[in-house]
Structure 1
Amino acid sequence: MKENVASTFVFILLLFLNTNLLNGQSPPGKPEIFKCRSPEKETFTCWWKPGTDGGLPTNYTLTYHKEGETDIYECPDYKTGGPNSCYFNKKHTSIWTVYIIVINATNQMGSSASDPRYVDVTYIVEPNPPVNLTLELKQPEDQKLYLWIKWFPPTLVDLRTGWLILQYEIRLKPEKAAEWETHFAGQQTQFKILSLYPGHKYVVQVRCKPDHGFWSKWGPESSIQIPNDFTMKDTTVWIFVAVLSAVIGLIMVWVVVLKGYSMVTCILPPVPGPKIKGFDTHLLEAAT
């Protein structure tokens, strides 16, 4: 009797599975964790790509445990990071700790799980872009005009404690140019650009990078118009110096040619004759 019941149950199960397969229904495909990011070493978010849903409503859960521990936890916040994400706030984030994270997909036909993702918050820092980018043209007296660029660190980052150290990179180009000119600014939040094309409108962006981690996205563009005549002052001075030098040189050559002097005579004066008192130069000529 028991064997008949077991056989009937298996038959019904196989019939159910075959019916669902014929209807295009199947267990969910394997999901994939494609990115985990921390903006400031204090919180982080992980995102995943769902696999196929097997033609059925599919539920996704993120579970994790810390390396060296056996307790398994579920994602504390599925909403803050957007669809298919899990956000770990300060309460759930530990530095110098390895999180082992898995995405589980389940529907009526079965389940599947992603490959585990090993996450150390220290090495997934990707800060937000710098803010408040300002551009200013400056030209001190008797000096060349330059572009003065200033910005502030991302608002969420606290740099006062040294918990996070940021370095910055600037890129700029004339508005219609295809190639960017890039400058590394180190830890400073201001930079001077000297080589500028007059009459062009320049576009500037800044990004930042922590000591361990990745470059942020480029911040919003700022632009500034370079005047056409900003080099006139320097150009006029150099033209005046060149013309004056040429005139002086021509005058010297003209004087030398007019008086019939050779260049050697002009440079080396003639050797004076003997000046001995009472000496008759005619006697010296007669002796020769």
Structure 2
Amino acid sequence: MKRNDEDWKECPDYITAGEKSCYFNTSYTSIWIPYCVKLANKDEVFDEKCFSVDEIVLPDPPVHLNWTLLNTSQTGIHGDIQVRWDPPPTADVQKGWITLEYELQYKEVNETKWKELEPRLSTMVPLYSLKTGRDYEIRVRSRQRTSEKFGEFSEILYVSFSQASLELVHCPEEIEFPWFLVVIFGACGLAVTGILVLLSKQPRLKMLIFPPVPVPKIKGIDPDLLKVML
């Protein structure tokens, strides 16, 4: 029944969903409306649960999983990575009609037990202290924030800590010497030197650029009179 109703209705379909199941199609349910269901035998009620349709929808798996190396330890034994993914294309999370939280699980390839992180709303998660030289498997699933059940897992993302990739990350790139700057400054220097040489060979230009040093004079002495006295 609808939560605000008083009359319980019989299950419309016991066949489609299989044995010990009840199936409701869109003729009997609508989104955003709360319903209550109960399992009963005459006057005895065994279980009862209330929910809205949007709360129990299981989202599709996340897509586009990828990873990047953050850093490695000084000893090269452990490494940290960042895992990213996109929400399911069928989940309208951008407009806020649905809010998803994600659970990431990972393990080494030769292990059987998955390690899981606490569910979170973010679509990127760091993984710390992974052993280098090992291969890992990572998978992610999602659920609605108000739901208890997760949807199916995504495709498995494989992470390989090969020695070559670690050396590529850790080996700093060689610093290229700026030869083009040397050529530019050298050309400018030669041009300025050539101009100065050409100008120095022209008398008039030489007088303008390098005027003669004036002879020191003593104020108050007539040079013509001085010549006569001598």
- Unaligned 5+ segments in structure 2 are 173-230
Could you tell me whether the CA contact under 8 Å between 1:185 and 1:191 is conserved in 2? no
Give the match for residue 158 of structure 2: 223
TM superposition score normalised by structure 2: 0.52
Equivalent in 23, 34, 45 of residue 87 of structure 1 = 23
State the alpha-carbon separation in 1 of the partners of residues 53 and 133 from structure 2: 46
* Contact 1:198–1:229 (Cα < 8 Å) also in 2: no
In structure 2, distance between residues paired with 1:126 and 1:173: 28
For 1:133 and 1:184, how far apart are their aligned partners in 2? 21
Identity, in percent, stands at 22
What letter corresponds to residue 130 of structure 1 in structure 2?
A: P
- Taking a change above 3 Å as real, the CA distance of residues 203 and 156 of structure 1, as seen in their structure-2 partners, is same
Partner of 1:127: 58
Letter paired with 2:143: K
Q: 1:173 corresponds to which residue?
A: 107
**Residues in 1 aligned to 2:94 and 2:10: alpha-carbon distance in whole angstroms:** 34
Question: Aligned match of 2:38 in 87, 97, 101?
Answer: 101
Aligned to 2:97: 163
The Cα shift of 1:153 comes to 3.1
How much does 1:236 deviate? Answer: 7.2
CA distance in 1, matches of 2:4, 2:12: 20
Q: Per-residue displacement from partner, 1:243-269 (whole Å, max 9, x unpaired)?
A: xxxxxxxxxxxxxxxxxxxxxxxxxxx
Using a 3 Å threshold, how does the CA distance of structure 1 residues 227 and 114 change in structure 2: closer, same or farther?
same
1:106-117 equivalent positions in 2, closer than 5 A: 115-117=46-48
CA distance in 2, matches of 1:84, 1:156: 30
Structure 1 residue 213 displacement after superposition:
1.8
What is the TM-score with the length of structure 1 in the denominator? Answer: 0.44
1:207 is aligned to 2:138: no
> Superposition RMSD on alpha carbons, in Å?
3.9
Counterparts in 2 of 1:234 and 1:161: CA distance versus 1, 3 Å: closer
**1:193 corresponds to:** 127
Structure 1 residues 85 and 208: alpha-carbon distance in aligned structure 2, compared to 1, 3 A threshold: same
In the alignment, what sits opposite 2:217? none
